[in-house]
């Protein structure tokens, strides 16, 4: 580890923290309907959309109506994306003559993008037409991100309101988030990325003759506009197969930092929106403190493990840490940091191959996802996931203290506790259940590229990433088979919607409750004790659930590697 590495990590945290308040203020305005500096331009567009769609902007929905609207919107979006992928061969903007995407791969990819997972069973430049990239994928990047943010805002309203029957209008939240927040930021980011060297063109691949006289076909395309939303919306699906490790998708160290900051920006800003809307910004900072505590700990472990290097490389007398699967322009610290950021949020973009990380360096990204990506988390998804854990933590505190648990003046009762546990339990069911299935079914053993415990890690990582809607991979696993296309899609859909619906139910039931004034017996939720309790509950729930599976994969691999053991495939 180097001082410069730690300075880069500290700088990243400082920039993210500095953005929390301004972004929080702006987003609060957007979602409470206060005019913004962009309103004179975008206001007419917004009202035109409502008129066209027959939406009354002042009509709010109950939690169930909000959820049904979201489901209807996603069902149609799924069909549209599936159709574009299947028909890309006959649609325009296909200069490289890509064939139609196979049915199971199209199903997997549609599920992947609608759920904000962006798992890449497709190889971007070798499978998809430009139309599929922009009309199919870029628009779902926007809309799934806007949906996540909208849902978080609905849940915040549940905490903020009292004796209310509604949690907002899904249509208004979706439209305002897309128009006022995502589009303007992405337009600015796109231009910055192009200036850094990212292509943005509809021209076909370039044929180059190398200095040694060989032919090199260089894939280009409308990259920057997709990367801007892929990061800001924590989608993570790459234009290219190698994702943000590809020099066109991440050309410079500066572009790399900006990408990492934009992964965290909106998720971190939402904690401030939460604080502002419940009328006490410290409540938001307390939640962000719990997130950052877990984040810094994870970063330290991964950076240490990657800088210490792998036993195989060190055994050959090579020094400088584990560079297999990493790019020279980023080096060890910026690659380790990126891996933790992308899995703490539900982004899933990668600037280095996680499959080639050291055993412990790869364990942290896996654990980040298994905890439910509540460390800043996916845009929106991170906050509502964290608030679900807050409900559990408050419930536990109430049991320990023998009082009726309450949060922000709302009593947390059996119904909220049950809904929170439902959301918390569906993730391990998908992650561990499907991993178990894949390891015993005869369809699976051919899929991992690596032998021994690392092969098991590849399978575990895949289902963890899918159910957590992350989308990063231990890329050696051959995921583009019927079995994996279908099971991974199932994991993604359940992992998204079976967390969203209980979270919305909590929102509805909290909004309906009366506010109880704080008294001497109220447990303060803006101090260090609460942060410690929350982190403790997260680690205990996550640790108890996932330790056995992690022991079988990364932990065994670490011990075997330290003893000098390697594993050969086919042996």
Partner 1 sequence: MLTHLRPALVLLVALTGLTGLAYPLAMTGLAGAIFPAQAAGSLITRDGRVVGSSLIGQSFTGAGYFHGRPSATTAADPADPAKTVPAPYNASNSMGSNLGPTSAALAERVKAERDALQAENPGRPVPIDLVTASGSGLDPDISPEAALFQVPRVARARNLPEEGLRALVTAQMRGRTLGLLGEPRVNVLALNLALDDLARR
Residue 501 in contact with partner 1, rule: CB under 8 A: no
Among 88, 121, 129, 138, binds partner 1 (CB under 8 A): 138
Nearer to partner 1, 143 or 466 (CB): 143
Please, which residue, 284 or 362, has the CB nearer to partner 1? 362
Query: Among residue numbers 13 through 72, which ones bind partner 1 (CB under 8 A)?
Result: 49, 52-55, 68-69, 72
Site for partner 1 in 298-317 (CB under 8 A): 310-313, 315-317
Q: Quote the CA–CA distance of 46 and 263 in Å, as a whole number.
A: 26
**Tokens at 439, concatenated:** 């390891």
Q: CA–CA separation, 156 vs 384, rounded Å? A: 8
Residues 417-436 that bind partner 1 (CB under 8 A): none
Residues 245-284 that bind partner 1 (CB under 8 A): 245-248, 251-254, 256-257
For position 122 contacting partner 1 by CB under 8 A, the verdict is: no
**What are φ and ψ of residue 410, in 5° steps?**
-110, 135
Q: How far apart are CA 538 and CA 289, in angstroms?
A: 14
Least separation in angstroms between residue 261's CB and partner 1 is 12
Q: Counting contacts by CB under 8 A, is residue 92 touching partner 1?
A: no
Taking the complex as a whole, the smallest distance from the CB of residue 444 to partner 1 amounts, in Å, to 17
| 215 vs 519 by CB, closer to partner 1 | 215
3-state secondary structure at position 207? strand
Interacting positions 181-200 with partner 1 (CB under 8 A): 182-183, 186-187, 190-191, 194-200
Q: Is 80 in the site for partner 1 (CB under 8 A)?
A: yes
3-state secondary structure of 222: strand
Closest Cα partner for 357 from 237, 476, 459, 241? 476
Q: How far apart are CA 98 and CA 424, in angstroms?
A: 41
Q: Which of 322, 346, 469, 472 binds partner 1 (CB under 8 A)?
A: 322
Please say which residue, 54 or 402, places its beta carbon nearer to partner 1.
Answer: 54
Which listed range, 13-21, 213-221, 274-282, 400-408, lies at the site for partner 1 (CB under 8 A)? Answer: 213-221
To the nearest 10°, the Cα dihedral for 227, 229, 234, 239? -30
Please list every residue from 451 through 490 that binds partner 1, using CB under 8 A: 451-454, 457-458, 474-476
Cβ contacts of 409-418, under 8 Å, gap ≥ 24: 409/162, 409/515, 409/516, 409/517, 409/518, 410/159, 410/162, 410/510, 410/513, 410/515, 410/516, 411/513, 411/516, 415/505, 415/509, 416/391, 416/506, 416/509, 416/510, 417/391, 417/392
Q: Does 237 bind partner 1 (CB under 8 A)?
A: no
Of residues 155-184, those binding partner 1 (CB under 8 A): 171, 174-175, 178, 182-183
Residues 505-534 that bind partner 1 (CB under 8 A): none
| Cβ neighbours for 78, distance < 8 A, ≥ 6 positions apart | 110, 111, 114
Please state the closest distance from residue 264 (CB atom) to partner 1, in A: 17
In whole angstroms, the minimum distance from the beta carbon of 298 to partner 1 comes to 18
Say how far apart CA 115 and CA 236 lie, in whole Å: 12
Which residue from 483, 365, 349, 495 is spatially nearest to 422, judged by alpha carbons?
A: 495
Is 102 a binder of partner 1 (CB under 8 A)?
A: no
């Amino acid at each position: 580890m180097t001082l410069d590495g730690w300075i880069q990590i500290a700088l990243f945290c400082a920039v993210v923290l500095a953005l929390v308040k301004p972004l929080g203020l702006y987003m609060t305005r957007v979602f409470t309907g206060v005019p913004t500096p962009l309103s004179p331009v975008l206001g007419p567009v917004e009202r035109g959309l409502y008129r066209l769609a027959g939406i009354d902007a002042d009509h709010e929905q109950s939690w169930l109506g909000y959820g049904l609207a979201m489901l209807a919107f996603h069902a149609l979006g799924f069909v549209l994306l599936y159709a574009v992928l299947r028909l890309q061969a006959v649609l325009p903007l296909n200069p490289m003559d890509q064939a139609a995407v196979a049915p199971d791969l199209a199903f997997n990819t549609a599920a992947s993008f609608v759920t904000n997972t962006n798992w890449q069973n497709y190889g971007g430049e070798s499978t998809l037409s430009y139309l599929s990239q922009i009309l199919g994928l870029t628009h779902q990047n926007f809309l799934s991100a806007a949906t996540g943010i909208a849902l978080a805002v609905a849940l915040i309203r549940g905490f903020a309101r009292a004796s209310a029957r509604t949690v907002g209008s899904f249509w208004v939240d979706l439209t305002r988030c897309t128009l006022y927040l995502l589009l303007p930021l992405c337009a600015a980011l796109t231009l910055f990325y192009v200036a850094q060297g990212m292509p943005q063109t509809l021209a076909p691949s370039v044929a180059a003759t190398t200095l040694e006289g060989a032919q090199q076909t260089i894939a280009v395309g409308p990259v920057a506009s997709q990367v801007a939303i892929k990061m800001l919306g924590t989608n993570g699906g790459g234009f290219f197969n190698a994702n943000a490790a590809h020099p066109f998708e991440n050309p410079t160290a500066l572009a790399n930092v900006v990408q990492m900051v934009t992964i965290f920006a909106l998720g971190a800003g939402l904690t401030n929106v939460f604080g502002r809307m419940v009328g006490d910004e410290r409540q938001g900072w307390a939640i962000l403190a719990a997130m950052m505590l877990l984040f810094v700990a994870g970063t330290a472990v991964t950076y240490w493990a990657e800088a210490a290097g792998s036993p195989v490389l060190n055994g050959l007398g090579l020094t400088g840490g584990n560079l297999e699967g990493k790019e020279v322009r980023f080096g060890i610290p910026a690659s380790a940091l990126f891996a933790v950021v992308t899995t703490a949020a539900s982004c899933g973009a990668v600037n280095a191959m996680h499959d080639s990380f050291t055993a412990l360096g790869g364990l942290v990204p896996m654990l980040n996802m298994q905890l439910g990506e509540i460390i800043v988390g996916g845009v929106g998804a991170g906050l509502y996931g964290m608030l679900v854990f807050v409900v559990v933590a408050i419930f536990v505190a109430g049991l320990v203290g023998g009082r009726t648990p309450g949060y922000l003046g709302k009593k947390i009762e059996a119904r909220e506790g049950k809904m929170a546990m439902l959301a918390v339990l569906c993730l391990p069911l998908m992650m561990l259940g499907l991993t178990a299935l894949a390891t015993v079914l005869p369809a699976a053993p051919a899929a991992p590229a690596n032998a021994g415990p690392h092969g098991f890690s590849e399978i575990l990582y895949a289902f963890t990433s899918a159910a957590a809607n992350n989308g990063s991979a231990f890329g050696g696993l051959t995921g583009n088979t019927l079995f994996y296309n279908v099971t991974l899609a199932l994991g993604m859909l359940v992992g998204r919607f079976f967390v969203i619906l209980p979270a919305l139910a909590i929102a509805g039931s909290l909004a309906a409750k009366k506010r109880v004034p704080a008294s001497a017996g109220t447990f303060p939720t803006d101090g260090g004790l609460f942060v410690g309790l929350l982190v403790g509950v997260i680690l205990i729930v996550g640790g108890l659930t996932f330790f056995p599976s992690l022991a079988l994969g990364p932990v065994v691999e670490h011990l075997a590697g330290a003893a000098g053991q390697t594993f050969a495939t086919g042996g």
